[in-house]
Structures are given as structure tokens and as C-alpha cells.
Amino acid sequence: MKILANDGISQSGIDALIKSGFDIITVNVAQEQLVDYINDNNIVGLLVRSATTARKELIDNCPGLKLIGRGGVGMDNIDVDYAKSKGLHVINTPASSSSSVAELVFAHLYGGVRFLYQSNRSMPLEGETNFKGLKKSYAKGIELRGKTLGIIGFGRIGQEVAKIGLGIGMNVIVYDKFIKKASVTVSLFSGASLDVEFNIQDFESVLAQSDFVSLHVPAQKDYIIGAEALSKMKKGSAIINASRGGVIDEVALVDALESDHLAFAALDTFENEPKPEIKLLMHDKISLTPHIGAATLEAQDRIGEELAAQVNSLLK
């Protein structure tokens, strides 16, 4: 049986699929050629990440397809319910990338409070001629320890973010509309661990109390964070979106930054991927990454292995 990993898969995932007797293909087929390629090559399983879409048209025109898999958490690029209604297996890997995304959140946080995103732009241009001036500009950083981190969405990734925040001495507060209580276990390298209980607070309270807000919610029809929500955040606070594009009103975000209501923002995902708005890309108060939350070697190995295990279980 042939499996097409159209957006790539780790070598560990390839090895696991081959060991189970599958023929794994890793060529990248253009979206408009995908239906023909799947049919001409008798593909039974399509594995994607965020680049390839699997919509109704593809599902209807690929009768031999038995499985669609998403290497990652969000499945907004797949018509999941429709695929299932047609008898296809639809799988993803919700646990594999949580730690990687959480660490990127803190990369952005540390970069924000110490102006690294600005300094790394300025030093190549002015480091030789204006070293003292840059030093003065970036000499008013703050520490994360002792600050309040608000987490919107307390699933696997939100919980991993909480663990890191607790570990560095932050006050972590949480909002999630689906749960009332939650607990996380903070594990140390030595093997020791600490269980921490959370009472879920209301949305407005988390916004109002937090020095930093980190979003971990699925794609939505409407904004989670619009102008009204931004206005309720503390003056001088910051927001990080490493979840999905479209959960923040980017126009309202720019307004909040330009009015100095927010100190900075960090974006790993965007409304218009793969062509983010130029105002975001050029803004000197936004720390930017190109949707790389899950893009660590460790996470990709876990994703590949988890996909291979599910494919083997469902198709063999």
C-alpha cells in the first residue's frame, strides 16, 4: 500500500512505515496536481502538514483514498467531518509537538522583554557606528520571573506553556471555556515532580491581570482577540500567538501597538499565510517567526513515528 507524505515526514516515520510494509512516497506534489497523482499512483494514505489541503473536491475525486493524516494538531486544512462521512480515517498527532510550541512561546517572550527581536535587526546596521546608542535603547529590559502569564486555551500546548512559566517563577493564570479545573505535573530532570492545580478564570479576568497573554486555541470563525479584548489587557502588556492564524484581529493588534497600549506582540501564525501583511512584517514591536512552532527535530521525529503507528493500526 502506498502512502504519500506530501509535506514531508521524518526519517524515523519513513523507517517505521517501511518496516510495516508500506511504500512511502515523499515527493511534493502541487495542490492542483494532487488528485491526479493520488489516482494514478494508487495512493491509499495522504499525510500532510499545514501546506497541503484535503478538501471536499479532493475527497470526492480520490475514491481509492482510505486515510488522511495531519502531522500536527490543527486540522483546519482538512474537511474532517466530510472525510469521515465518506468512510475515510482522519488522524493527527496532538501530543507530539506540544513541548516544541511551548518552548517557542518562551523564545518569543524572552526575546520581547530583552528587545532581542529589535536588537538583532539593529546590530548589523548600527552595531559598529552606534553601539552605545543601541545599548541605551535596549537597556530597559524586564525579567519574566514574578510576572503574570495568562494562558488562553488550556489543552496540551497550553499546559506545556504553564509548566515552563511555573518553572521560571511566573504567576500562571488560565482561561478555557471547556473546563473548570485542571492540573499539571512539572517534572524536573532529576525525576522529581510537582503537581499544580488550576482554577479556570473568566476570559476578561485573565486579560486584565496578565503581563503576558499566550494564545493556544484552535482556528475559529471569529476573532478570539479583537479590539475590545485588547483594550482590556494591561497597558504595557504583550501578547503571543503561536496557535492559529485568524484568532487575533491583526488590524486591531497594530493599533494597540502603535498607541503604546501593548509593549510588543509575537506572532508565529498569521491570517494570510503564506503572505502575511507587510505592516506586521515591518513593525518594530512585533517578534516574528514563519509558523515554526512544531518545527524541531525532536517534534518531527515524534510526529512521524505517531503517524506511522496510526497508519499501521488503521490500514493493516
In the residue annotation, 244 being an active-site residue is answered as yes
- How many Å apart are CA 185 and CA 193, to the nearest integer? 6
In the residue annotation, 145 being an active-site residue is answered as no
DSSP 150-188: EEE--SHHHHHHHHHHHHTT-EEEEE-TT-SEEEEEEE-
DSSP H or E segment with residue 109: helix 98-113
Annotate 45-74 with b (16+ C-beta within 10 A) or e (fewer). Answer: bbbbbbebebeeebbeebeebbbbbbbbbb
Catalytic residue among 291, 302, 305, 306: 291
The set of cell numbers assigned to 12 is 524515523
Instruction: Return phi, psi of residue 43, to 5°.
Output: -75, 130
Catalytic residue among 49, 216, 244, 283: 244
Distance of CA 259 to the CA centre of its chain: 27
Catalytic residue among 114, 156, 271, 273: 273
Closest CA relative to residue 98, chosen from 153, 25, 21? 153
40 near 65, Cβ under 8 Å?
Answer: no
Between the alpha carbon of residue 239 and those of residues 60, 71, 82, 226, 256, the distances in Å are: 41, 26, 35, 12, 11
DSSP-assigned letter for residue 31: G
- How many Å apart are CA 51 and CA 31, to the nearest integer? 9
- How many Å apart are CA 75 and CA 53, to the nearest integer? 9
Altogether, the residues listed in the chain come to a count of: 316
In the residue annotation, 103 being an active-site residue is answered as no
The catalytic site residues sit at 244, 273, 291
